[in-house]
Amino acid sequence: KQEVTQIPAALSVPEGENLVLNCSFTDSAIYNLQWFRQDPGKGLTSLLLIQSSQREQTSGRLNASLDKSSGRSTLYIAASQPGDSATYLCAVRDWGNTPLVFGKGTRLSVIA
Amino acid sequence: ETGVTQTPRHLVMGMTNKKSLKCEQHLGHNAMYWYKQSAKKPLELMFVYNFKEQTENNSVPSRFSPECPNSSHLFLHLHTLQPEDSALYLCASSKDPAGDYGYTFGSGTRLTVV
């Protein structure tokens, strides 16, 4: 059974710092991996989607990498801003008609 | 707005009430989902609909009853809920049931059962 782990559970950094959020998954035979952002009490906003054949995806200050063989993905945020404060969720989809499996998320606070 | 709209945003109901949550998308997606998000737990998939047909019921108690009248609308009918059912209920959609192009989520309904 696929399990997704995100470490750390919470992170606080000063504004302007570059940071990395980690996601690991137990079954490396994934179909794709998606990073989401969730603001308090709100729904999820999709940030980046990486297909199993890809190694990374970039959007603005965000860069997500995927290493299937080691069961890891990282979300790199450059020049962090207070507006980046949110919970970041990693979710993987396995091959076959299987649902997304989510991690518990990393709660990020960027301090001005 | 993400293109997936959920109403109401907040709902407080008694254990004997009957209420419904609504989800609507006009993205042309063919699959729709209900997820439950409780404090300090990962999102839990509840139901999946593909082209209006239910394809997955993730061992959800019968006090939760989904309905999908067409590909654009999804409902979750609630009756005789328990306080532990209090959570954020999220609706999502995807272009195809395989999720090749990712998933789009709504803002959720914050449900409190008293």
Q: How far is B95 from chain A (nearest CA, A)?
A: 14
Rounded distance between C-alpha atoms, residue B58 and residue A98, angstroms: 11
Q: Do A36 and B105 touch (CB under 8 A)?
A: yes
Strand runs (DSSP E) across A52-96, as ranges? Answer: 56-59, 62-67, 72-77, 86-94
At A11, list the tokens. 């992170």
Q: How close does chain A come to B13, measured CA to CA in Å?
A: 18
- Tell me if chain B has a CB within 8 Å of the CB of A36: yes
Cα separation, A34 vs B114, in Å, equals: 35
Say whether B84 sits in a helix, a strand or coil: helix
Measured on CA atoms in the order B42, A41, B71, B85, is the torsion positive or negative? Answer: positive
Q: Are A36 and A45 in contact (CB under 8 A)?
A: yes
CB contact under 8 A, A43 and B103: no
Q: What is the pLDDT of residues A49-63, one digit of tens each?
A: 999 999 999 999 999
DSSP letter (8 states) at residue A95 = T
Kindly determine whether residue B103 and residue A89, on different chains, have CB atoms separated by under 8 Å.
Answer: no
Contact between chains at A104 and B106 (C-beta distance less than 8 A): no
Instruction: Give the pLDDT confidence score for residue A100 in this predicted structure.
Output: 86
Task: Cite the beta strand spans of chain B per DSSP E.
Answer: 4-7, 10-13, 18-25, 31-37, 44-50, 53-57, 64-70, 73-79, 87-94, 104-105, 109-113
The C-alpha of A82 sits at a distance from chain B's nearest C-alpha, in angstroms, of 21
**Ranges of residues in chain A whose predicted pLDDT is under 50:** none
Q: Give dist(CA A9, CA A107) in Å, integer.
A: 6
At residue B96, what are phi and psi to the nearest 5 degrees? -135, 155
Please report the pLDDT score of residue B97 as a whole number: 75
pLDDT at B1: 64
CA-wise closest residue to A91 among A61, A62, A48 = A48
Shortest CA distance from B43: residue in chain A: A102
Residue-level pLDDT at A96:
77
Asked whether the beta carbons of residue B105 and residue A41 sit closer than 8 angstroms, the reply is no
Collect all residues with Cβ–Cβ distance below 8 Å to A100 and sequence separation of at least 6.
Answer: A34, A91, A92, A93, B43, B45, B99, B103
Tell me which residues of chain B have a pLDDT lower than 50: none
